Amino acid sequence: MRFQLSFKSGKPIYLQIVDQIRSAAAAGAIKAGEPLPSIRPLAEELRVNRNTVAKAYAELEGQGVIETVAGKGCFLRTNNSPFNKEVRRRLLTDEIDEAVVQAHHLQVSRSEFLRIAEARFDAFEDKRSRAAGKAGA
Amino acid sequence: MTTESEAIAVNQLVRRYGRTDAVDGLSLRVQRGRCYGFFGRNGAGKTTTIKCLLNLLRPTSGEVRVFGLDPARDEVGVKARLAYVPDHVAFYPWMTVRETLDYFASFRSRWNADTERSLVDRFGLDVRQKASHLSKGQRTQLALVTAICPEPELLVLDEPTSGLDPIVRREFIETVIGAYQEGAPGRRTVFVSTHLISEFEGLIDEFTIIDRGRNVLTMDADTAREQFQKIYARFPSAAPPIDLAGCRVVRQQGREVELIVDGTHVNHAPVMMDRLKALSPETLHSEALSLEEIFVAALA
């Protein structure tokens, strides 16, 4: 998988790594049981402190997204959400709230917002099925 | 005053050259295992501070401690635990690369020969080459090899990449991330002085900005990037009066306002965003500053 880090997003670098691995997992770019890049080469490639990558992996492990196999590295877990439905819904609600506020400021109407959401779902599913097709080929 | 968890402690350091105060009451603390940026313009006092840490200069007043030790009293104890890459690297010109490596290794209780081999290989250094025939980039690479092979607990880098080409600079930083932090990342501390801040951005956990020998700002890098924000607002008609306390105005012209929120005020950016939102701007957005932009803002 590829990472795109920005020092100008205001979001701590380790959280950017966490989020990108989570979305790669959600989009099927990494599959359950597949290994994540090891800390050293990833840190060198991204030119960030190793502690930053280690912190991101520790966070992902705490969230139950990945597991560490001693001597072998980190792998994506089969069921990557340890949260119950209630908690998952709440996490998502917070993110949606932010987007709704943003839409208000950008003068994007409710119906337009919902249209965009639909389109994003389509794009996401499309990406997922293409990733699945590639893995099958 | 200092604890074992601190790799470096500088307390009220003053170093005077004649009538010039190169360092003028500087204090900072570096926790072990951190990568600490020491940022300042040319002549801000960075090298003088580092020379005091290495006992190459004696403080006029104040104190410096490395791993709790006074470098002036316990020079060997301090130097055995650190390695230093200066901005101008000099080796004995008559020695070959091989002889230089052996010479440096002879002063050290540890020397990782595997690391030496892989770095010499990576940098493409010819061990039979005379030190006098090395390019500036190669001399810096050799200095980095001599600094990393002893696996020191503290790596002090003084403007290590200035004047080098982009490829050598990249390799240098990757080597610090990869080879140096390899063993026990928690016990590897980096103290790097530079004004090429963006190159080291991903490496820095915490930093101090020094100007005219004084500490202008010390902050955690993530916190700084989160709290220093540039906000742009455009209003439908002439901008209304705005309470701009805790901000520096970059531009205020007609319908537009651009400002930088001083990140030393905790959570001031969201406060400013709310304040501006309440004035119904037609456009409003904010972006974080990079460490280099924070450096420029702090010295403005």
pLDDT in tens, B40-66: 999 899 999 999 999 999 999 999 999
Task: Tell me how close the Cα of A101 comes to any Cα of chain B, in angstroms.
Answer: 11
The verdict on B169 touching A (C-beta cutoff 8 Å) is no
- Answer for the pair A103, A97: CB distance below 8 angstroms, yes or no: no
d(CA B170, CA B148): 16
Question: Are residues B195 and B63 located together in one domain of the fold?
Answer: yes
Which residues on B lie below 8 Å from A103 (Cβ)?
A: none
- Answer for the pair B210, B49: CB distance below 8 angstroms, yes or no: yes
pLDDT reported for residue B205: 92
Which residues on B lie below 8 Å from A42 (Cβ)?
A: none
Record: contact A44-B178, CB cut-off 8 A: yes
- Answer for the pair B292, B197: CB distance below 8 angstroms, yes or no: yes
Q: Could you give the angle at which helices B97-105 and B113-123 cross, rounded to 10 degrees?
A: 150
Record: contact A7-B201, CB cut-off 8 A: yes
Record: contact B202-A46, CB cut-off 8 A: yes
List the single residue in A8, A12, A50 with the smallest CB-CB distance to B287. A8
Lowest mean pLDDT, pick from A82-86, A120-124, B289-293: A82-86
List the single residue in A5, A10, A50 with the smallest CB-CB distance to B229. A10
Which residues on A lie below 8 Å from B201 (Cβ)?
A: 7
Total domains present in chain B: 2
Question: Are residues B244 and B146 located together in one domain of the fold?
Answer: no
Q: Which of A49, A57, A104, A106 to mutate to test the interface with B (most CBs of B within 10 A)?
A: A49
**In what helix (H) or strand (E) does residue A43 lie, and over which residues does it extend?**
helix A39-46
List the single residue in B202, B289, B291 with the smallest CB-CB distance to A49. B202
CA distances from B73 to B2, B78, B83, B135 (A): 16, 9, 18, 36
Torsion of CA B205, B211, B216, B217, to 10 degrees: -10
pLDDT tops 80 at residue A82: no
d(CA B92, CA A29): 53
Question: Are residues B265 and B211 located together in one domain of the fold?
Answer: no
Record: contact B177-A48, CB cut-off 8 A: yes
Q: In chain B, at which residue ranges do the beta strands (DSSP E only) sit?
A: 6-17, 20-31, 35-40, 61-66, 82-85, 154-158, 189-194, 206-211, 214-220, 229-234, 247-253, 256-261, 283-288
pLDDT reported for residue B117: 96
Q: Are strands B154-158 and B283-288 parallel, antiparallel or unpaired?
A: unpaired
Record: contact A51-B173, CB cut-off 8 A: no
Question: Are residues B209 and B248 located together in one domain of the fold?
Answer: no
For chains A and B, CB pairs below 8 A equal 68
Q: Which residues, 6+ apart, have CB-to-CB distance to A47 below 8 Å?
A: B170, B173, B174, B177, B202, B203
Which residues on B lie below 8 Å from A48 (Cβ)?
A: 177, 202-203
CATH of the domain at B46: 3.40.50.300
pLDDT tops 90 at residue A106: no
Mean pLDDT of B277-289: 89
List the single residue in A10, A44, A49 with the smallest CB-CB distance to B225. A10
Residue window 12-71, chain A: list those with CB within 8 Å of chain B.
12-14, 40-41, 43-44, 46-52, 54
- B169 assigned to some structural domain: yes
- B100 assigned to some structural domain: yes
Among B220, B238, B261, give the residue marking a domain's end.
Answer: B220
CATH of the domain at B290: 3.30.70
Closest CA to A64 of A8, A108, A21, A119: A21
Torsion of CA B175, B181, B183, B185, to 10 degrees: -170
pLDDT in tens, B269-282: 889 999 998 888 88
- B1 assigned to some structural domain: no
Question: Are residues B288 and B149 located together in one domain of the fold?
Answer: no
Among B171, B200, B220, give the residue marking a domain's end.
Answer: B220
Question: Are residues B244 and B284 located together in one domain of the fold?
Answer: yes
Cα A28 off chain centre by: 10
How high does pLDDT run on average in chain B? 91
Residue type, B152: P
Sheet containing B283-288: order of strands: B247-253, B256-261, B229-234, B283-288
Question: Are residues B55 and B117 located together in one domain of the fold?
Answer: yes
The verdict on A74 touching B (C-beta cutoff 8 Å) is no
Record: contact A8-B229, CB cut-off 8 A: no
Residue ranges making up the domain that contains B274: 228-299
Chain B residue with Cα closest to A51: B185
Question: Are residues B84 and B209 located together in one domain of the fold?
Answer: yes
Question: Are residues B63 and B46 located together in one domain of the fold?
Answer: yes
Record: contact A10-B173, CB cut-off 8 A: no
Question: Are residues B278 and B178 located together in one domain of the fold?
Answer: no
Interface predicted TM-score of the whole assembly (ipTM), two decimals: 0.78
Q: Which of B177, B180, B225, B294 to mutate to test the interface with A (most CBs of A within 10 A)?
A: B177
Task: Tell me how close the Cα of B235 comes to any Cα of chain A, in angstroms.
Answer: 13
Question: Are residues B181 and B113 located together in one domain of the fold?
Answer: yes
d(CA B93, CA B291): 38
Q: Is B73 exposed, middle or buried (0-12, 13-18, 19+ CB in 10 A)?
A: exposed
Q: Which residues, 6+ apart, have CB-to-CB distance to A21 below 8 Å?
A: A1, A30, A36, A56, A60, A65, A66
List the single residue in A10, A44, A54 with the smallest CB-CB distance to B288. A10
Mean pLDDT of B96-104: 97
pLDDT reported for residue B176: 87
Question: Are residues B181 and B246 located together in one domain of the fold?
Answer: no
Sign of CA dihedral B172, B176, B178, B180: positive
pLDDT in tens, B152-189: 999 999 999 888 888 888 889 988 888 787 767 568 99
